[in-house]
Amino acid sequence: MDFATFQLPGGYIDEGGTLHREVEVAPLSGREEEFLANKQVKGAAALVTTVLSRCVRRIGTMSPVNEVMVRNLLVADRQYLLLKVRELTFGENVQANIFCPWPDCGARVDIDFSMGDIPIRESAQKGPVYRMDLSEDAAIVDGQGLKHKEVLFRLPNGTDQEVVSPLLRDNEAKALSTLLGRCVLGVGYMKNPGDELVRMLSPLARMEIEKEMEAVAPAVDLIMGAKCPECGREFSIPFDLQDFFFGELKISVDLLYREVHYLAYHYHWGEREIMEMSREKRRRYIEVLADEIERLNNAV
Ligand SMILES: [Zn+2]
């Protein structure tokens, strides 16, 4: 399969306000697998941008797709696309290890699932700007004693992720404030987004805004249910798709070189041609070869 088409759970709204939902996605080629396995970038969000800008061929009527467009995609749409790239490149099945979250246990737990079973929730309203009212208690009171309840916001996108994810490790509270400052576009008549606006929001107001954002956003549900074979307790844990996929790429690069060697050896194709193939295509040729070799052996 050279590419496949899907519908984004959120969608891309262009500068003219048109919503684009159909996307064309290609698997990684061997060359891209190699490039990504060896690439050093700051933060997983930047790596997701790199992957998607290479594999997403079209968004609605917009083609080619560049990094700026990929950064403009909503967080859930990026996750969804990464799922599809992984599925097209390595197949639907995922076998991974997680650790039992109970501090007195911590045993390794094998999980096994199909990407097709991951629940995807489409967003009902497409934005790009959403409005909501804060509750009476959460309203902001200005210098004149006037109450402001109306909040305008947009949903977090790839650029926000790239800005916020390096902060997340050191200072989670600061990262969340930064994110809110970027996404809250105005409260009442105050239309200057940024830190100052966020500082005016009470914890209750922040919570109400975050809840509403979650309610209107599309979602890829990566919370996995599992049962620990050691202690027998059931738990749910977020599955880190990015970590898993990038780890998988690093591990499979050795195999990639072996496959390239095998195909070059038997078919006398050049490295460059083979590296342009997707894994699925390499595997298909390897299967044909295996059948052929078996047939020859049986004929002797
Ligand atoms: Zn356990």
- Check whether residue 237 and residue 262 sit in a common domain: no
Measured in angstroms, how far is the CA atom of residue 99 from the centroid of ligand 1?
8
Measured in angstroms, how far is the CA atom of residue 81 from the centroid of ligand 1?
32
Measured in angstroms, how far is the CA atom of residue 100 from the centroid of ligand 1?
5
Measured in angstroms, how far is the CA atom of residue 114 from the centroid of ligand 1?
23
Measured in angstroms, how far is the CA atom of residue 94 from the centroid of ligand 1?
21
Phi, psi of 142 (to 5 degrees): -90, -175
- Check whether residue 66 and residue 171 sit in a common domain: no
Measured in angstroms, how far is the CA atom of residue 108 from the centroid of ligand 1?
8
Residue pair 3/57 in contact by the 8 Å Cβ criterion: yes
Measured in angstroms, how far is the CA atom of residue 60 from the centroid of ligand 1?
46
**Residue 10, token pair as written in the block:** 């959120």
Secondary structure of the chain as H, E, C letters: CCCEEEEEEEEEECCCCCEEEEEEECCCEHHHHHHHHHCCCCCHHHHHHHHHHHHEEEECCECCCCHHHHHHCEHHHHHHHHHHHHHHHHCCEEEEEEECCCCCCCCEEEEEEEHHHCCEECCCCCCCCEEEECCHHHCEECCCCCEECEEEECCCEHHHHHHHHHHHHHCHHHHHHHHHHHHEEEECCECCCCHHHHHCCCHHHHHHHHHHHHHHCCEECCEEEEECCCCCCEEEEECCHHHHHHHHHHHHHHHHHHHHHHHHHHHCCCHHHHHCCEHHHHHHHHHHHHHHHHHHHHHC
- Check whether residue 243 and residue 201 sit in a common domain: no
Measured in angstroms, how far is the CA atom of residue 109 from the centroid of ligand 1?
8
- Check whether residue 209 and residue 82 sit in a common domain: no
- Check whether residue 39 and residue 134 sit in a common domain: no
Measured in angstroms, how far is the CA atom of residue 19 from the centroid of ligand 1?
46
- Check whether residue 63 and residue 28 sit in a common domain: yes
Measured in angstroms, how far is the CA atom of residue 242 from the centroid of ligand 1?
24
Choose among 95, 113, 93: nearest CA to 225: 113
Measured in angstroms, how far is the CA atom of residue 222 from the centroid of ligand 1?
20
Choose among 254, 231, 188: nearest CA to 37: 254
User: Per-residue confidence of the chain (300 residues) as pLDDT tens digits?
Assistant: 578 999 999 999 999 999 999 999 999 999 999 988 888 766 788 889 999 999 999 999 999 999 999 999 999 999 999 999 999 999 999 998 888 888 899 999 998 899 989 999 999 888 899 999 999 999 988 778 888 899 999 999 999 999 998 888 888 888 888 999 999 998 887 777 677 778 888 999 999 999 999 999 999 999 888 899 999 999 988 888 888 898 888 888 888 999 999 999 999 999 999 999 999 999 999 999 989 888 988 887
- Check whether residue 209 and residue 224 sit in a common domain: no
**Pairing relation of β-strands 234-238 and 147-148?**
unpaired
- Check whether residue 142 and residue 111 sit in a common domain: no
- Check whether residue 46 and residue 190 sit in a common domain: no
Measured in angstroms, how far is the CA atom of residue 101 from the centroid of ligand 1?
7
- Check whether residue 172 and residue 281 sit in a common domain: no
Structural domain of 67: 4-122+220-247
Four-CA torsion 72, 17, 150, 196, nearest 10 degrees: 40
Measured in angstroms, how far is the CA atom of residue 113 from the centroid of ligand 1?
19
Distance between start and end Cα atoms, the chain: 35
- Check whether residue 139 and residue 42 sit in a common domain: no
Q: With 0-12 CB in 10 A as exposed, 13-18 as middle and 19+ as buried, what is 298?
A: exposed
User: What pTM does this model have?
Assistant: 0.89
Measured in angstroms, how far is the CA atom of residue 169 from the centroid of ligand 1?
26
- Check whether residue 182 and residue 59 sit in a common domain: no
Structure confidence by residue, pLDDT tens digits, 88-144: 999 999 998 888 888 899 999 998 899 989 999 999 888 899 999 999 999 988 778
State how many domains the chain has.
3
Q: Among 229, 247, 265, which residue terminates a domain?
A: 247
Measured in angstroms, how far is the CA atom of residue 223 from the centroid of ligand 1?
17
